[in-house]
């Protein structure tokens, strides 16, 4: 009698998607400042939603890092407070948007609605 294979070849499904908003694969310029730092990081998103974005970084931020970000949508800046919620070493971070300045959330919503699906 053989023992079960400790490394099954059958794919294991991940848990349910916890995102509140659909995400779009889109490259948008983003400038990130960690709280307490004046040094900006100039990056691009790899995906974007009303709830957050993903950015590629060789040296990702620590989980829980609080930050200020500026998204550049069609040349207009949208300022956001955010939080690093996922971390993939040598790859990047998932950033959750916590708060928007002024009408930033509405501008982001309109921008995303215009992306062809």
Q: What is the pLDDT along the chain (117 residues), one digit of tens a residue?
A: 444 444 333 333 444 556 688 999 999 999 999 999 999 999 999 999 999 999 999 999 999 999 999 999 999 999 999 999 999 999 999 999 999 999 999 999 999 999 987
> How many whole angstroms separate alpha carbon 115 and alpha carbon 117?
6
The top-level CATH class assigned to 31-113 is: mainly beta
Looking at residue 20, its pLDDT comes to: 81
Give the 3-state secondary structure of residue 42: strand
8 Å CB contact between 50 and 21: yes
Looking at residue 63, its pLDDT comes to: 97
Residue ranges per domain, the chain? Answer: 31-113
CA dihedral for 55, 60, 65, 68, sign (positive or negative): negative
> How many whole angstroms separate alpha carbon 16 and alpha carbon 31?
31
Q: What are phi and psi of 32, to 5 degrees?
A: -120, 135
Give the 3-state secondary structure of residue 19: coil
Looking at residue 12, its pLDDT comes to: 37
Which residues are 100's β-sheet partners? 80
């Amino acid at each position: 009698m053989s023992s079960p294979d400790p490394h099954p070849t059958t794919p294991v499904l991940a848990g349910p998607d916890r995102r509140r908003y659909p995400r779009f694969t889109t490259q948008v310029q983003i400038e990130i400042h960690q709280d307490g730092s004046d040094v900006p990081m100039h990056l691009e998103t790899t995906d974007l939603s009303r709830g957050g974005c993903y950015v590629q970084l060789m040296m990702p931020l620590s989980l829980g890092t609080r930050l200020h970000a500026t998204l550049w949508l069609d040349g207009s800046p949208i300022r956001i407070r955010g939080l690093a919620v996922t971390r993939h070493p040598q790859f990047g971070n998932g950033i959750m948007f916590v708060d928007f300045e002024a009408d930033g959330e509405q501008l982001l919503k309109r921008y995303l609605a215009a992306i062809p699906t």
